[in-house]
Amino acid sequence: MTERKNGGTPPWAAAVRQGQQNHRFDDSIVGHPPTVLSRVQRLASLPWLASWMQQLKSENKSIHTVRSYLISAKGLASATLPGEPNLSDSAIEHMNVQIMHKRIDPNNGRIDVWMQSLSHLAPSTVHARLAGATHLLKWLGYHIPDHIVRPKKGKHLPRPLEPDELTRLRAVAQISENPLANVVVTVLLQTGLRVSELCTLDDRDVNVHTLSARVSSGKGDKDRMVMFSGSGAEVIGCWRRHRNGRRTCDRDAFLVNSRGNRLTSRNVQKLMDRLADDSDIPRSRLSPHTLRHNFATGLLNGGADIVSIQKLMGHTNITATRVYLDVTDPALREVYNRAQANELEELLSRERDAGTEDVAEVESVEDADQISIDPAELA
């Protein structure tokens, strides 16, 4: 334990008063020197960015995760302490591992300056930035300091399309002049694919005979099988006939644009925007991920168990699948309807009982009138 000085005052407090918060506290104050992993020592003279990217690749991080982590790492590394000059992106990227190890030491206050620059961002974005910084720090032998507070995220439930919106979308997709419209909407609704998985789908992986498709190198570099129905097979067959008549540059791709190139995520979203306009659905309400939500809620409404849905959607953690239970759970709906029916039946029963009592009272009065004695008879 660090020895106290100055009449019981912690040494770090005195260091703050002397302005040492602008650089790394002495080892006597922190209590131990910075831990340098053998990995850092071995890669000390190599560029940190290329070395770290190789680590992310070995962990099978998705393209989107790598992009998010890269933004976080560059943001943290480029944060400047008082008196430091601003560094260009090129200068930061070409730092070696040893210099980067010293630069982002959590004890020098750089991470605090960086966190302040994130204060205007949404909580979910801050969490994403911290995830990237945490990975980089851990790779270099550090940990996120305990005083770093993560903002609380609100609970936002998925918003699938309403039944009437879904009906309009299907109708518009079927009559669209764009031959991609019907096949994209149908495949997304029947398989629950992510848009990246849809675009990377190869034609040989879609089997209309077994009514299934093989997703290779999905999120987390995992393979899985998805299924579609007979109606989906018909739509796929129609698309393939059209595809074979197109000039195809990428012969492996299942979906190609008008130029014959493999479809991109941006192509799909532009298609969603046009379909949204034609279906009288706000553009903000329609995306490939929205149709993935509809796939999950449709399975739940049909009575599918949560583990099967997890496998079909390609979720690593079942917690990601359980969120749909908050949207639509057939079991909860059945309990709710039964409770409402019981309450209504009880109310009607009370009303019937009250009506019976009124009738009985009336009948008792009439009976009393019938058996009343005429005074003339007594005379």
Residue 371 lies in a domain: no
pLDDT above 70 covers a percentage of the chain that reads: 77
Tens digit of each residue's pLDDT (9 = 90 or more) over 120-135: 999 989 999 999 999 9
Residue 188 lies in a domain: yes
Which contiguous run of DSSP H or E holds residue 66? helix 63-78
Residue 322 lies in a domain: yes
In this structure, are 51 and 85 located in the same domain?
A: yes
List the one residue out of 40, 23, 53, 56 whose CA is nearest residue 100. Answer: 40
Please indicate whether residue 280 or residue 31 has the higher confidence score (pLDDT): 280
In this structure, are 131 and 172 located in the same domain?
A: no
* Mean of pLDDT values over 141-161: 83
In this structure, are 120 and 169 located in the same domain?
A: no
In this structure, are 97 and 205 located in the same domain?
A: no
Residue 251 lies in a domain: yes
90 pLDDT above the threshold of 80: yes
* Mean of pLDDT values over 230-254: 89
In this structure, are 210 and 249 located in the same domain?
A: yes
167 pLDDT above the threshold of 80: yes
Reported pTM:
0.63
Q: Mark whether 69 is an active-site residue.
A: no
Q: State the CATH number of the domain containing residue 174.
A: 1.10.443.10
Please indicate whether residue 232 or residue 377 has the higher confidence score (pLDDT): 232
Q: 61, 129, 168, 194: which one is catalytic?
A: 194
User: In terms of residue numbers, what domain contains 118?
Assistant: 21-139
Q: Mark whether 152 is an active-site residue.
A: no
* Mean of pLDDT values over 181-187: 96
Confidence of residue 18 (pLDDT cuts 50, 70, 90): low
Q: Mark whether 315 is an active-site residue.
A: yes
Which of 106, 139, 172 is the C-terminal boundary of a domain? 139
Residue 277 lies in a domain: yes
Please indicate whether residue 21 or residue 343 has the higher confidence score (pLDDT): 343
Q: 103, 129, 292, 293: which one is catalytic?
A: 292
**What local confidence, expressed as pLDDT, does residue 28 receive?**
52
In this structure, are 179 and 319 located in the same domain?
A: yes
Q: Mark whether 324 is an active-site residue.
A: yes
In this structure, are 49 and 195 located in the same domain?
A: no
In this structure, are 106 and 189 located in the same domain?
A: no
Which of 107, 139, 171 is the C-terminal boundary of a domain? 139
Residue 289 lies in a domain: yes
* Mean of pLDDT values over 356-372: 49
**What local confidence, expressed as pLDDT, does residue 42 receive?**
80
Confidence of residue 3 (pLDDT cuts 50, 70, 90): very low
In this structure, are 93 and 190 located in the same domain?
A: no
> Which tokens belong to 149?
């507070």
Confidence of residue 370 (pLDDT cuts 50, 70, 90): very low
**What local confidence, expressed as pLDDT, does residue 365 receive?**
43
Residue 179 lies in a domain: yes
Q: What is the mean pLDDT of the chain?
A: 81
Q: Mark whether 219 is an active-site residue.
A: yes
DSSP string, 81-149: -TTPPP--HHHHHT-BHHHHHHHT-GGGSHHHHHHHHTTTS-HHHHHHHHHHHHHHHHHTT----TTPP
Q: From residue 173, how far is each of 73, 170, 180, 192, 310 by CA, in Å?
A: 42, 5, 9, 17, 28
In this structure, are 35 and 123 located in the same domain?
A: yes
Domain count for the chain, please give it. 2
356 pLDDT above the threshold of 70: no
In this structure, are 125 and 259 located in the same domain?
A: no
Query: Per mean pLDDT, which range of 48-52, 130-134, 248-252, 275-279 is the poorest?
Result: 248-252
> Which tokens belong to 162?
């309403």
Which of 330, 351, 368 is the C-terminal boundary of a domain? 330
Q: 61, 129, 168, 219: which one is catalytic?
A: 219
**What local confidence, expressed as pLDDT, does residue 14 receive?**
57
Residue 350 lies in a domain: no
Confidence of residue 2 (pLDDT cuts 50, 70, 90): very low
**What local confidence, expressed as pLDDT, does residue 372 receive?**
45
In this structure, are 170 and 315 located in the same domain?
A: yes
51 pLDDT above the threshold of 70: yes
